[in-house]
Structure 1
Amino acid sequence: MTREQMSPQHWRTLTVSVYLPTTLALVGFGAVTPLIAITAQDLGASLAQSALVVSLLGIGALVGALPAGIIADRLGEQRALVASLIVDAAAMAVAAFAPNFVVLGIAVFVLGVSEAVVTIARQSFVTEFVPLTHRARALSTLGGVFRIGSFIGPLAGAAVVTLGGLRAAYWLAIATSLAAAIISAWLPDVEREAPPGAAPVHMAAILRAHAMTFLTLGVGAAALTLVRASRDALLPLWATSIGLDAAQTSLVFAASSLVDLTLFYLGGSMMDRLGRRAVAVPAMLIMGTCFGLLPLAATGIGLGAVALGLGLGNGISAGVVMTLGSDASPAVGRTQFLAGWRLTTGIGGALGPVMISALAAVASLSAAALAVAAIGWLGAAWLWHWASPPGDSPASRDASA
């Protein structure tokens, strides 16, 4: 199927079997995520302990990256998705009934692991199912769906919490995860690119064989992930430092997110037509420049302008990290490779907030912003070298085949 053109039937299949359940699952996930710290405090945790419980979500996603690749390879994308979504629902139930914050932390860690399986299985399915000429558009749409679900989730969570209390958000997440599991059970089988009778491969062998890819293209993608993650970590701190209240800060984020949500398909279309670096490099330059201008933002209007620029860079680059990983993935051992790719890029995302916190403690928020800006600019140059050039787009390769 990867050499065929993308038909309306293919898009309908993706919409019903991939995009719809992803949106459902992320609505529930997004409803719960902002409430984890509050739930931990409600169970007697201190502020530091609550922060640790929240961090277990990201730790679980990193720890679960490599096992997720093995699970997706052994079970196949469909069964791995359904199983992980059921585990999601079970972990949400444990969190809802948690008698103390330790049990809550275990449930949150399991959520992180299961989300890693969901992400890798969906990426692997889209990579196999979608023709190469439309891969970036399909994966950018998946990235946009992540954003849409994460945007709607907190709003839905606020509504159900108002009506039914704090634990109601977990019941919403249980319902959406189970609904997503039922829909995902209808995922079609895909034709594998691997030759029939190919010998099974092991995770360690795939990681060794593609170590140079992780250390070159993967480092560039990790830098992009770091810059993206820094937006959510740095903007609230800067808003507080210039005297904005919670409502004004939320308005700034809403404006940035609105720009973010409108551009994902445009970015994917540009990548399919012009090559991956035609989007990855400008996105990094835009976000790096915005962080470089952040120390000059002394008012809400100035911060809003920076936030809009970050929304632009983040929006057009939706799906670019997944697309770069899918392009580099081998036909044999694809899920194991994507697991290593997720681990590599996930480390970049985890390092961003840690670096900002450290620099803010020993220097200043301005220094942290300039450090992120430097990573954005250097990362752009790195990706210019290692990502596919404009003349090497999937469309041009397909046309010349």
Structure 2
Amino acid sequence: MELALRSTLIFSIIGFLVNFGLGTVAPILPLYALTFNVSIVMVGALVSASAISKVILDMPSGIVADRLGTKRFMLGGLLIVAASAMISAFAVDYWMLLIGLTVQGIGSAIYFTTSYLGISRTAPPAKRGRHLGLFISLQFLGTTSGPVLGGLIGQAYGLSGPFLIYAAFTLISAAMVYFLVSGASIKGAGGASVDLHQITRTFRNYTLTSVNAGLFTTSILRAGLVSTIVPLFAVRNLGLTTVELGAALTLSAGFNFLSLLPASSLSDRLGRKPFLFSSLLFGGIVAAMIPLATDLLTFAVIMSALGFALGLSGSVGAYVTDVAPPPDLGGAMGIFRTMGDLGSFIGPIILTAFIPASAGPINASPFLVAGMILSVSGLLLIPAKDPVRSKAGGRK
């Protein structure tokens, strides 16, 4: 097996385990937060907690990992995530849970930024979409598997139980990094330095900016709508149990997985832009349709369509790697991760502001707002360049 593929498989399996643990938490987190008798807005702030620490640390993590490339950053990040899950599991009040999720963001920023850079450095350019697609696909396979188990554990053993599962799988992942990941295999541009000019160059590049905008709005939808408002909608409007909610979210993630890897592989030949554009436009339309669900079946169908649409954006990380100059890759990937996590931070805060403070049904407003901003970001891609498509003889 070639070294690049072996490295990608190791990173991908670790990503699966981490996201499996995270997936067990997804369906119960808003409900767990409400057990501390807080408002919906505070629930939104809680879901945003890990994202704000990622926003602060993504850029430094990308720069340091690119320059040094040692596995201790990945290992340290995973150990921090495991500790944060334990804090959350044994939280005695809202503020302790908030601290746990904030610490989780610190570990995630360190680990995932290094993982993206490692694959970007080792994957052959002609197969970059396929390698990153495999990495992201297995992350989503973990997300696919997690919610049902999280719902079952939450219902049988209490809403704090899934956090213990999360901690266990993260510790297993840390052991795999320690024993299987070679520090040399993820070493970046050792002597490279990152300054303000490199960062401003990244923001002046229209294609990189439009790709980052797409990731930003997708993250708003994932964190603000799917992770925060959809569970509340499912319980309040449709009367679903946590197990039914977990099953629907698992089905959605499954369709995400089904479209993600083929789209990522095809993007190596057909270009990145068609898939990212389709994901944003189609995803925005489907998101606005969620309030039309009237029972578990229609809810599951719409969420499955949304998962499929979002999976088409699997090559977005490869798009950044295609466009960014090699010396600027660390900074560009740091900005890329920052924009995604910034969307995850502000998404729950923005979208929960559109729902009533009472315990009644969720209205259509947050779904329409999320759908609109996702579709608009898709239109911003129209003038963007697509190096892969150009090399294949297509139009930019």
Q: What is the TM-score of this pair, normalised by structure 2? A: 0.81
CA distance in 2 between partners of 1:79 and 1:116 (Å): 14
Aligned position for 2:85: 92
Aligned position for 1:284: 280
Deviation at residue 193 of structure 1 after TM alignment: 7.6
CA distance in 2 between partners of 1:102 and 1:291 (Å): 31
Aligned position for 1:339: 334
Aligned position for 1:206: 198
CA distance in 2 between partners of 1:340 and 1:244 (Å): 40
Aligned position for 1:65: 58
CA distance in 1 between partners of 2:325 and 2:44 (Å): 38
CA distance in 1 between partners of 2:168 and 2:290 (Å): 41
Q: Does residue 373 in structure 1 map to residue 366 in structure 2?
A: no
CA distance in 1 between partners of 2:237 and 2:5 (Å): 46
Name whichever of 51-60 and 375-384 sits farther off: 51-60
Aligned position for 1:11: 5
Name whichever of 266-275 and 150-159 sits farther off: 150-159
Question: Which residue, 177, 194, 210 being the options, matches 1:216?
Answer: 210
Name whichever of 292-301 and 126-135 sits farther off: 292-301
Name whichever of 289-298 and 65-74 sits farther off: 289-298
Q: Does residue 384 in structure 1 map to residue 382 in structure 2?
A: yes
Q: Does residue 314 in structure 1 map to residue 310 in structure 2?
A: yes
Asked whether the equivalents of residues 272 and 315 of structure 2 are also in contact (C-alpha less than 8 Å), the reply is yes
Q: Does residue 264 in structure 1 map to residue 264 in structure 2?
A: no
Asked whether the equivalents of residues 49 and 101 of structure 2 are also in contact (C-alpha less than 8 Å), the reply is yes
Equivalent residue pairs, number: 381
Question: Which residue, 35, 38, 41 being the options, matches 1:47?
Answer: 38
CA distance in 2 between partners of 1:158 and 1:295 (Å): 22
Asked whether the equivalents of residues 292 and 373 of structure 1 are also in contact (C-alpha less than 8 Å), the reply is yes
Structure 1 letter corresponding to 2:73: A
Asked whether the equivalents of residues 121 and 335 of structure 1 are also in contact (C-alpha less than 8 Å), the reply is no
Paired-residue identity, %: 21
Aligned position for 2:19: 26
- Classify the secondary structure of the residue corresponding to 2:256: helix
Q: Does residue 151 in structure 1 map to residue 144 in structure 2?
A: yes
Q: Structure 2 vs 1, CA of residues 356 and 102 (structure 1 numbering), >3 Å: closer, same or farther?
A: closer
Q: Deviations over 1:263-305 (max 9, x none)?
A: 2211111211100012111112221222344455555554444
Higher-Rg structure is 1
Structure 2 letter corresponding to 1:223: T
Structure 2 letter corresponding to 1:224: T
Deviation at residue 316 of structure 1 after TM alignment: 2.5
Question: Which residue, 318, 322, 338 being the options, matches 1:323?
Answer: 318
Aligned position for 2:167: 174
Segments of structure 2 that go 5 or more residues without pairing to the other structure are: none
CA distance in 1 between partners of 2:170 and 2:138 (Å): 15
Asked whether the equivalents of residues 46 and 101 of structure 2 are also in contact (C-alpha less than 8 Å), the reply is yes
Q: Deviations over 1:23-49 (max 9, x none)?
A: 22223333345555666677xx43246
CA distance in 2 between partners of 1:92 and 1:165 (Å): 15
CA distance in 2 between partners of 1:389 and 1:84 (Å): 33
Structure 1 letter corresponding to 2:53: G
CA distance in 1 between partners of 2:83 and 2:326 (Å): 33
Q: Structure 2 vs 1, CA of residues 227 and 128 (structure 1 numbering), >3 Å: closer, same or farther?
A: same
Q: Structure 2 vs 1, CA of residues 50 and 302 (structure 1 numbering), >3 Å: closer, same or farther?
A: closer
Deviation at residue 180 of structure 1 after TM alignment: 1.4
Give RMSD over aligned pairs. 3.5
- Classify the secondary structure of the residue corresponding to 1:146: helix
Q: Structure 2 vs 1, CA of residues 75 and 100 (structure 1 numbering), >3 Å: closer, same or farther?
A: farther
Aligned position for 2:124: 131
Asked whether the equivalents of residues 66 and 188 of structure 2 are also in contact (C-alpha less than 8 Å), the reply is no
Name whichever of 48-57 and 103-112 sits farther off: 48-57
Asked whether the equivalents of residues 224 and 379 of structure 1 are also in contact (C-alpha less than 8 Å), the reply is no
Q: Deviations over 1:161-216 (max 9, x none)?
A: 6887666544443332232122223323248785x8x55223x3432221223543
Structure 1 letter corresponding to 2:371: A
Q: Structure 2 vs 1, CA of residues 356 and 187 (structure 1 numbering), >3 Å: closer, same or farther?
A: same
- Classify the secondary structure of the residue corresponding to 2:131: helix
Q: What is the TM-score of this pair, normalised by structure 1? A: 0.80
Question: Which residue, 132, 135, 147 being the options, matches 1:142?
Answer: 135
- Classify the secondary structure of the residue corresponding to 2:381: helix
- Classify the secondary structure of the residue corresponding to 1:385: coil
Structure 2 letter corresponding to 1:206: Q
Q: Does residue 112 in structure 1 map to residue 111 in structure 2?
A: no
Name whichever of 284-293 and 260-269 sits farther off: 284-293
Question: Which residue, 337, 348, 351 being the options, matches 2:343?
Answer: 348
Asked whether the equivalents of residues 359 and 367 of structure 1 are also in contact (C-alpha less than 8 Å), the reply is yes
CA distance in 2 between partners of 1:348 and 1:390 (Å): 27
Q: Structure 2 vs 1, CA of residues 237 and 215 (structure 1 numbering), >3 Å: closer, same or farther?
A: same
Q: Deviations over 1:121-154 (max 9, x none)?
A: 0000000010111111111222122212223334
Asked whether the equivalents of residues 71 and 186 of structure 2 are also in contact (C-alpha less than 8 Å), the reply is no
Q: Deviations over 1:331-355 (max 9, x none)?
A: 2243232111211232234444434
